[in-house]
Structure 1
Amino acid sequence: MTTFPSTPRTRAWRAAVSLSVAALLAAIGPTAFAQRAVEQPRKTCDTATTPFCDATMAPVPGWKGRVFRLAQHYPASAPKDVQPWLSFDPHRKPQEYLDAVLAYFYEGNTRSNTEASFDPALNRVRGWYNAPWQDRGTNGREFVHGLTRERVSLPGELDPKQTLPWNNYAVGFYNAPGGVTLGKVWANHGNPDAGLATMPEGTVAAKLLFTTAPVEQVPWLAGSPEWQAYVYDPNDSHPRATSPRAIRTVRLLQVDIAVKDRRATDTGWVFGTFVYGGGPGRKAKGGSGSGWQNVSPVGVMWGNDPGYKPGHGELQQTALNPAVHMPHLGYQGRLNGPVDNAVSSCMSCHSTAELPQGTMVPPKGADPAPWFRNIESGVPFDAGHKPLDYSLQLEVGLVNFLRQNPSVFPRSLSAAQVERVHQDIGKPLSRAGDE
C-alpha cells in the first residue's frame, strides 16, 4: 500500500460536556421556522419546457436567509482552465495530488461568510454546476443549501463518545467539463439521454458532507464550518414524506473528490476524501482549529484492489494518510470517509452507477468480490445495463425522472432496460451504504 508522508499531527480533545439525552436533544433542537414548507410547484419546474427545480420544497413562510438555486446553466464546451493536480502523480504523491484538487475546488468558493460559501453564482474564478432532479422523495434537496439526505451515522461510527445515530446531508458540484456532460444528458428536459453520460478528462466532482451530530457527541467537530439547513429530526433514522423538518445547524464533516484522470489506467478515475480537522484526537491542519481549510486527507484510491486478501500483502491501489485515524475505513481497509459504509469503498460504491439502478454496496450474505472489481469508464457494473461513468448523481436524477415520467422512453435505453427501471419504481432510492 502506498502511504502518505508521515507528518506529526496531534490534537487535544476538547473536554466532553456531560449531557443527558434530553438535554442533548434540546441543544440541537430547531432554531426557528419549524413549520412545514410546501412542495415546490411542479408546473413551473421539472417539466419538458421549464428549468429544473431547485429543491423539494419552497422556502418556509417568513424565511429571510439563503435560498438554494440550482446551478443549471451548463456550458456547451469547457473553457481552458488550470488542472494543478496534473503536476503530481497520485500513486507517488497522493497528499500533493489531493491538496491540489481541494485548492482548485475551494478557489472562489470559500468566503468569510460561511453561509455564502459554495454558491456557484458567487464564484468569479470558474463555473461549478449541480446535477438536476435531486428534488424528490425523503432524500430530496432542502431549500437553504440544496442538501440531500445521506447515510445515517450509527453510534460509535464517528467517535467513541457518539451514543446516538445522526442524520447526514450533502451537496455535490461538477466543474465545467463535468457540467458539459450534465448539459448533454439533460439537453432535452423531457427526454434525457443516458447514452451521453461519459465524463471527459479533467472532470472534477466534489461533494460537501455535513452532519447533524453536535460537538458534545463528536468533539473533533469543534470549529467546523456550520450551515443552517431545513432538515429532519437529527436522530430520525427513517423519516417519511410526512416527517417534519426544521431549520437546524449542520457541521462540515467530510469532503469527497473524484477526478477523471487517464493515469488511473484500470478505472479512469481517482477518488479522495477529507475529514474535518483530522478526525478523533488529531491536531487541526495548520493549527487554526476552524474553517474550511481545516480538513485533512483520509486517503486516495485509483482502483479497487480486486482479489486482495488481508494478511497477504498490502493494498496497491489505495494510499492512506497515517496521520488520520478514523473509527472505520472501507472494506478490508480500502478508502472510505467517516459517513460511508465500512463494507464498501469510495470507488466500489460509485462504480455501480448505471441504469437500471445498480446495488451500491454488497447485500448481507452476498459475495463481495463483484463490488471490488476494477471497472473501466464506459463499462457498466451489471451486464446489459447503461453505464453512467461513476456518477451516482446522474443515476439518482435519471431514476427520479423516470419514476415521475413512466411513459417516457428515454433515448439510448433498450426496451428491456426501460422495463427494468419501471419494475424498480416501487423500490426506495438507496443512499450510499443504506442497504
Structure 2
Amino acid sequence: MVPRRSAVVVTWTTALVAAGAAWVGVGPGREATAQPAPACNMPTTDFCNAVVQPPANWHGHVFELSQAYPTAAPNDAQPWAAFNPRTQPDQYIKAVLAHFYEGNLRPDVEMCFEPKLNTVRGWYNAPWQDFGTNGREPIHGLTRERVSRPFELDPHQSRSWNNYAVGFYNAPGAVTIGRVWADRGRPNPAFGSMPNGTVAAKLLFTTAPVSEVPYLQGAPTWNAYVYADANDPAPGPTSPRAVLPVRLLQIDIAVKDPQVADVTGWVFGTFVYGGGPGGQPGAGWTNVAPVGVMWGNDPGYPGSGPLIQTSLNPAVHMPHVGFQGRLNGPVDNAASSCLSCHATAEAPAGTMVPPHGADPAPWFQNLRSGTPFDPGRQALDYSLQVSVGLSNFAAAQALARSPSPAARHNLLMQMIRMDARPPRDGGAIH
C-alpha cells in the first residue's frame, strides 16, 4: 500500500533542487527549467500539470491537467456494446475509437484532444504523471515511453527514437480516479476498481522521421517540449530540452466490458498510423488501422497454432507484435502483451515485463478484474496510470522524508538511474 505516515509531497523539480542536483543548466533548451513552478501536488492544491515549465517565450498550446473528476458518471452512449469483441473485433474497436474521437478532433491539430474544448463528453487525465525524468512535458502533457530500437518500427529505421504519450479516461473511469485521490495527501488504492463502461485511451507519438518510418507520412504532428536529442536512450534531468515535432504513431484503447467478465473483464485494442509498413497513404487522425484486439492472455499457449483470445488484423504487418504473437503495439515490448502489462497494475506496483530469464507464465494469466498480480497487494483494475501515479507519489514522499541531504541525493540519483529504462522496457517503477 502507499505509505501514509506523512502527507508531505514534493514535485520532481523541487526534489531535484532539494537534493542538490544540477537541474538548471546553460545552453539552448535549458533556460525554462530555471523558472519556478507554481505550488501543486500538495494535499490542498491542484495536481501538477507537468515536470517542467514551458520554454521561455512560448506562446503555443500549454497542457492543463483535466482533473475536475466527477463524483458520478453521466449516462452516455456505449456504441461498442452493439458488437461482440470475440466475434466482431474490428467493428468493436473501431466503435470505441469513434467514441474517443467524438468532440476531440478540430481543424487546429494542436488543439485536438483538449478536454476543455470537448462539448460532447468529458475526458480526464490521471494525476502524478509529472514525476521523474520521464514525466509530463508542458505543451501536451506527454510522458516519455519506451524507446524504439532500429527496425522495430519499420525496415527503413536505422536509429533508436524516443516516444511520448498522453492518456485519457472517460467519466466512469474518472470517477474512480477521483475516489482514489479524494484525499490528495493520502490516496487510497482500495477505491481503484473501475466500473463497466470505463474507456481508457492513449495517444503515442514518436520522434522518428518519415525518412525512417515512411508510413508516418501525413500523420498528425504536435509540438512537444521534449529531450533535444531524440536518439538518446537515457536522457537525464540535466539533458537539454527543445520544442520538437512528434508524429502520431499508435493509439491504445481499453474498455471495461461485462461481455468478457468471465476472462479478464477488459478488452484492449491498438491502432497504428497509416496501417504500418506497406499500409495505405493518407493524412489525418482517421488514417489509422487496428493492429488487433485482445480480451485474454491465452494462458498455457504453446507458442504455435491459433490464439483464442487475441485477434490480429491480417491487413497490418508490423515488424513485431507481442509475446508469441499476442497483441502489442509498435512502441511496446515484444516480450509482453497489452493485457500482460496492464495486469500488473497494483499497489505497490508490479513488474510490467517478465525479467530476462524469468518464467513468463505468470504474466500471461487471465486475471479477472479485482485480482492483484502479486498476492497480498491491492489490485488497480488494469490501470497502469493509476498504479504509476501512486508509485510516483510514494517516491516523492520517500524523498521528502529522507533524513539528510546526502540520503536524499542518493535516493534521487537512484530514481534517475531507474528512469533511464522505462517500465515498459523492463525497468523498475519508483
TM-score over 0.5 for the alignment? yes
- Aligned partner of 1:418 in structure 2 is none
User: What's the secondary structure of 1:145's corresponding residue?
Assistant: coil
Q: Give how far 1:366 is off.
A: 0.6
TM-score by length of structure 2 reads 0.87
Taking a change above 3 Å as real, the CA distance of residues 427 and 163 of structure 1, as seen in their structure-2 partners, is closer
TM-score by length of structure 1 reads 0.86
For 1:233-268, what per-residue CA distance to the aligned partner results, in whole angstroms no more than 9, with x for missing partners? 110100111111100000000000000001112101
Instruction: Find out whether 1:242 has 2:235 as its counterpart.
Output: no
Q: Give how far 1:41 is off.
A: 4.7
Instruction: Measure, in 2, the Cα distance between the counterparts of 1:353 and 1:272.
Output: 18
- Aligned partner of 2:376 in structure 1 is 384
Whether the 8 Å contact between 2:31 and 2:56 is mirrored in structure 1 is no
Taking a change above 3 Å as real, the CA distance of residues 152 and 188 of structure 1, as seen in their structure-2 partners, is same
Instruction: Measure, in 1, the Cα distance between the counterparts of 2:297 and 2:207.
Output: 31
Q: Give how far 1:432 is off.
A: 1.3
Q: Give how far 1:61 is off.
A: 1.3
The partner residue of 2:83 within 88, 92, 95 is: 88
Gaps of 5+ in 1: 1-31, 410-423
The partner residue of 2:303 within 302, 310, 319 is: 310
Whether the 8 Å contact between 1:75 and 1:179 is mirrored in structure 2 is yes
Number of matched pairs = 386
Instruction: Find out whether 1:256 has 2:252 as its counterpart.
Output: yes
- Aligned partner of 2:206 in structure 1 is 211
Taking a change above 3 Å as real, the CA distance of residues 334 and 96 of structure 1, as seen in their structure-2 partners, is same
User: What's the secondary structure of 2:100's corresponding residue?
Assistant: helix
Q: Give how far 1:408 is off.
A: 10
User: What's the secondary structure of 2:329's corresponding residue?
Assistant: coil
- Aligned partner of 1:268 in structure 2 is 265
- Aligned partner of 2:102 in structure 1 is 107
Identity over aligned pairs, percent? 63
Gaps of 5+ in 2: 1-26, 402-413
User: Mapping of 1:328-407 within 5 angstroms?
Assistant: 328-406=320-398
Whether the 8 Å contact between 1:257 and 1:272 is mirrored in structure 2 is yes
- For 2:213, the aligned partner's letter is V
- For 1:371, the aligned partner's letter is W
- For 1:330, the aligned partner's letter is G
Whether the 8 Å contact between 1:33 and 1:63 is mirrored in structure 2 is no
- For 1:53, the aligned partner's letter is C
Taking a change above 3 Å as real, the CA distance of residues 229 and 407 of structure 1, as seen in their structure-2 partners, is closer
Instruction: Find out whether 1:77 has 2:72 as its counterpart.
Output: yes
User: What's the secondary structure of 2:418's corresponding residue?
Assistant: coil
Whether the 8 Å contact between 1:224 and 1:251 is mirrored in structure 2 is yes
Instruction: Measure, in 1, the Cα distance between the counterparts of 2:151 and 2:416.
Output: 33
Instruction: Measure, in 1, the Cα distance between the counterparts of 2:215 and 2:263.
Output: 36
Whether the 8 Å contact between 1:331 and 1:342 is mirrored in structure 2 is yes
Instruction: Find out whether 1:192 has 2:198 as its counterpart.
Output: no
Over aligned residues, Cα RMSD in angstroms? 1.9
Which moved further from structure 2: 70-79 or 382-391?
Answer: 382-391
- Aligned partner of 2:33 in structure 1 is 38
Instruction: Measure, in 2, the Cα distance between the counterparts of 1:278 and 1:251.
Output: 14
Instruction: Measure, in 2, the Cα distance between the counterparts of 1:323 and 1:180.
Output: 37
User: What's the secondary structure of 2:271's corresponding residue?
Assistant: strand
For 1:153-191, what per-residue CA distance to the aligned partner results, in whole angstroms no more than 9, with x for missing partners? 000000111000000000000000001001000111111
Whether the 8 Å contact between 1:40 and 1:55 is mirrored in structure 2 is no
